[in-house]
A and B are shown apart, each in its own frame.
Chain A
Amino acid sequence: MKAIDNQGELWEVFIQSKPGQSFKHAGSVHGFDKDNAIENARDTYTRRNEGTGLWVVQSKEIIAVALNESDYFFEPATDKIYRHPTFYNLPEGVTHM
C-alpha cells in the first residue's frame, strides 16, 4: 500500500550564489503552491546567506533522460577530444571556465 503524502507537491530548488552566476540545483522541497514552495526553499536552503537568487520548479515538470537511454545520449561524446576546448591557453584572470 502506498503511504499517503499530504505534504504538497515536490519542487526542485535552484540557487544562484552570486549575481551573474548560473543557478545550481540545491535539492528539493515540499510546497502546496508556488508561493509556498519558494518560501520553503528560502527557509530550507538560504538561511545562512547562501543565495542571491532562487528558482523553484515542480519536479514533475522536469524532463530527464531515462537511465536506459544514457548510452546513446552520452557515450558518443567521449572519444572525440576535438570537441573539448582543451587546446586553448586561457588568459590570466579568466574565471568560471
Chain B
Amino acid sequence: MKTTLNYYLQIADNALILSHRLAENTSKGPFLEEDLATTNVALDLIGLAESVLNEAAKLEGLGQTGDDLAYRREESEFMNCLLVEQPNRDFAHIVTRQFLMDTFNYHYFIALTESKDSFLSAIAFKSIKEVTYHLRRSSEWMIRLGTGTDESKHRVQLAINTLWKFTDELFEESESDKAMLANGTGVNLHNIKNQWNQKVNEILYMAHLDSPKNQFSVFGGKQGNHTEHLGHILAEMQFLPGKYPDAVW
C-alpha cells in the first residue's frame, strides 16, 4: 500500500507544485492573453492534483482528506521531482520548465492509460487531452523564443542550460516506480525517456536551440530531498492552514 500511495503522491505532487509555480505568475504575465493561458494550465494541474490527492487520502485510510495531504505534509514528504519546484526566473524559464514537463507528462499519461490500476488509467485518460494542449502550447513558445530575437534566443537557451540538470530525475526509478511497473500498474520510465528525448530534440532542432552536453544531474526530489526552493513554496502555500487550522471558506 505504501508503494501505491507513494506512486500517487509522485503524480499529485508534480502537478501540485508546478501548478503553484504557475499560479505565482498570475497577474504578472507579459500580456493579458498569456496571463490567462498560464493560469489555465495551472488550473488543469490543480484539478489533477486534487483528484489524485483525494484518492491517495482514501487509500491511506487515516481519515485524512486530499487537502490534508496538500497542506499538512512536511517538505521531506513531498515526492515531486526537482524540476517543477524551480523558480520563475523569467518568461523563458517558465516556458522551458513547462515544455520539459509537458513532454514528460504527455508520454507518461499515454502509457499510464494501460495501467491495471483502474483509478490511474481513468485519470490518465482524462489528463491526456489537457496535456496534449499544454505540450502544443509550450512547444510553440520554445520555437517562437528560439527563432525570435537575439535576446529571446539567449534567454531560452540559458533556461535550458539551467534546467537541464533536473531532467534525468524524471526517469529515475524510485522504489514505487519499480514495484508498480512490476505488477502492471506503473509506467516504464526507460521507454518514456526515449520518447521524451526524441520529442525534446525535435523541438530544440526546430527552435535552433542546443541540448546541453556532459552536464551533471541532480536527484533527490522523489526521495523527499528537495532544493532550497520547495521550502519557500510550502511556507506560502501552507501558511493559512498552518496558522488557522480550522479555517473554512
A residues sitting closer than 8 Å to B (CB atoms) are: 7-8, 29-33, 35-36, 39-40, 43-44, 47
Contact = CB atoms under 8 A, between A and B. Distances in A.
B36 A35 contact: no
Given A43-B37, A43-B40, A47-B40, A36 B32 contact: no
Contacts of B30: 7
15 contacts: A7-B30, A7-B31, A7-B33, A8-B31, A29-B33, A30-B32, A30-B33, A35-B140, A36-B144, A39-B136, A39-B140, A43-B37, A43-B40, A44-B32, A44-B33
A42 to B, nearest CB: 8
Contact of B33 (A33, A35, A43): A43
Contacts of B40: 43, 47
Nearest to B34: A40
Contacts of A31: 33
A32 B33 contact: no
Contacts of A43: 33, 36-37, 40
Q: Which of B30, B33, B137 has the most CB of A within 10 A?
A: B33
Nearest to B40: A43
Contacts, number: 32
Interface in B136-162: 136-137, 140, 144
Contacts of A36: 140, 144
A36 B32 CA distance: 13
A51 to B, nearest CB: 14
A80 B220 CA distance: 79
A77 B192 CA distance: 65
A40 B37 contact: yes
Contact of B37 (A8, A32, A39): A39
A33 B145 CA distance: 12
A36 B36 CA distance: 13
A49 to B, nearest CB: 13
7 smallest A-B Cβ distances: which pairs? A40-B33, A43-B37, A7-B31, A43-B36, A29-B33, A43-B40, A35-B140
